[in-house]
Amino acid sequence: MKAIVVGAGGTTRELLRRLGELWEVAVVDADPVRLELAGAVRDIEPVPGDGSSGLVLRRAGLENADALVAATNDDDVNLEAVRIARDAGLLRVAAVAADPERIAEYRALDVPVFAPDSLTARQVEVLLEPRRVASTTFADGKAEAMEFRISPDSPVRGKRLRQLHSETWVVAAVLRGDELIIPKGSTSLESGDRVTVVGAAADFAAIVETFTAGESRFPLNFGRKAAVALGSERDFDTTVSEAISVVRNSRAEALIVVHPDTMVERDQERAESHQALLDQLTERAEGVEIELRPTSGDLERGLLDLAQRESIGVLVVGAPEGRRFWGRRRAARLVNVYGQLDVPVLLTRGRHPYASIVVPARRTGAGEAAGRGAIDLARTSGATLIGVSAVSPSFVGTGDTLEEARRSAAWLREEAAVQGVAMTRRLRRGNPVRILEEFAATASLLVLAMPDLPLNPLLPGITGHLLPRVRSSVLLIPSRP
């Protein structure tokens, strides 16, 4: 993520010491000596010039920035810098008031403003850093108390505190909803918990890394294995090959393959044909653990039964074909059949290995689940990630706003950055179906939230319209608390 800091004084240098490695920082100052001092604290992009100049701020990367902090000793410069940042649509903007009597001018711009002391850097740091809620020092600066929010991809999620033992810090409290928990060694941390950690100030960086890092989990939040059906040679070119690729490039532990039972097949030729497919499977899936599940019945029913009995994290099936009503009808049937299992469903079109992944940026429960799945797959597969914020035209009356779209895109970019995934933001106003179809045209995978069931082909919603129209593979991810 990119931050611009206007001014290279003491507050800026203290902030640079505390900001995490997720941030690329450009520092703007007219004094080359001050820029050199700031660069001695950490790697920065020095930008000589006047921070109140829009030209200088654009040279510093304003168009691609995620945050701006105005911290010069001149309030006129600071106020103009934050005005420019707000006009550019930046959501994270903060300032340091050189003269406390002018704080009201910053507040009139709806900009968080702080007093110019060591507390300033801590307050601004909390504003900028994802997953950090609060931070304060005590014991003459030798100890620090920090509050973190546990995210679904946190490496400490689900662990008992005794597994997180450290001699230099301790978890002092856990706020779970409205319930305050005084933790014990047996206390497990859950997604959404607000955790207060007290430790040595010297271990600040290590503590932050422990509680704010992210790790790829897909599809482990749903199950440990992927599942696919193999009934014909054509399946190899579509569903099976992509299922193997997904297991190789995710946290799935194995691929379960449902296939016709050759032992009960009365037609000898068909039995030999099925056995030949299984022999090919062993060769093509080299390096992937394969578990065979023979069935004497319908393969689709075999997949559905399997998902109800075993730990399945993703079901891999062929994508619906056809345009207009018949395409929507096939899409609705697939979603209604498989969506009831509360398991991600990958509708394949053979676009693996994934080079680019598109996902809508939406701050809903289902939208966040889809976003995290896309981030996980981008990290494990090395694919580029594109977050699309589609704002419906004002006459549609959906309630979508440009501000909400920007906040959703900023959230998704932060979550991706925590896992080391660079996300490209795309903000468009118009028909969401056409916008997503446009971006999916050149992508390998489109990740969407599982729609509400049942899906009606006459009123299919965004998902029902997209499934038969896009040429990419589509992953549908249900929401999980």
Condensed to tens digits (0 to 9), the pLDDT of residues 6-28 reads 999 999 998 998 888 889 999 99
Task: Check which CATH number belongs to the domain holding 60 and give it.
Answer: 3.40.50.720
Last residue of a domain, one of 126, 150, 167: 126
Supply the DSSP symbol for 151. Answer: P
Ramachandran angles phi, psi of 408, nearest 5°:
-65, -45
Identify whether 331 is part of a domain.
Answer: no
**140, pLDDT greater than 70:** no
Task: Check which CATH number belongs to the domain holding 143 and give it.
Answer: 3.30.70.1450
pLDDT of residue 395: 46
The residues, ordered by sequence, that sit 6+ positions from 117 with a Cβ below 8 Å of its Cβ are: none
Condensed to tens digits (0 to 9), the pLDDT of residues 270-285 reads 888 888 888 889 888 8
Task: Give the count of beta carbons closer than 10 Å to the beta carbon of residue 342.
Answer: 11
Q: Within this chain, do residues 360 and 454 fall inside the same structural domain, yes or no?
A: yes
Which residue range is the domain that position 12 belongs to? 2-126
Q: Within this chain, do residues 296 and 392 fall inside the same structural domain, yes or no?
A: no
Q: Within this chain, do residues 150 and 122 fall inside the same structural domain, yes or no?
A: no
Q: Within this chain, do residues 359 and 471 fall inside the same structural domain, yes or no?
A: yes
Identify whether 434 is part of a domain.
Answer: yes
Last residue of a domain, one of 157, 186, 212: 212
Q: Within this chain, do residues 366 and 465 fall inside the same structural domain, yes or no?
A: yes
> pTM here?
0.80
Q: Within this chain, do residues 471 and 352 fall inside the same structural domain, yes or no?
A: yes
Round the average pLDDT of the chain to a whole number and report it. Answer: 89
Last residue of a domain, one of 266, 299, 318: 318
Q: Within this chain, do residues 236 and 184 fall inside the same structural domain, yes or no?
A: no
Helix (H, G, I), strand (E, B) or coil at 259: strand
The residues, ordered by sequence, that sit 6+ positions from 137 with a Cβ below 8 Å of its Cβ are: 122, 143, 144, 145, 201
Q: Within this chain, do residues 203 and 159 fall inside the same structural domain, yes or no?
A: yes
Identify whether 327 is part of a domain.
Answer: no
Q: Within this chain, do residues 51 and 87 fall inside the same structural domain, yes or no?
A: yes
Condensed to tens digits (0 to 9), the pLDDT of residues 43-86 reads 999 999 999 999 999 999 999 999 999 999 999 999 999 999 99
DSSP secondary structure string for all residues of 198-233: EEEGGGHHHHHHHHH-----TTTTT-SEEEEE--SH
Identify whether 329 is part of a domain.
Answer: no
Condensed to tens digits (0 to 9), the pLDDT of residues 355-376 reads 999 999 998 989 999 999 999 9
Least confident range from 258-267, 295-304, 396-405: namely 396-405
* Mutual angle of helices 402-418 and 365-381, in 10-degree steps: 40
Identify whether 338 is part of a domain.
Answer: no
Q: Within this chain, do residues 363 and 445 fall inside the same structural domain, yes or no?
A: yes
pLDDT of residue 253: 95
Number of domains within the chain: 4
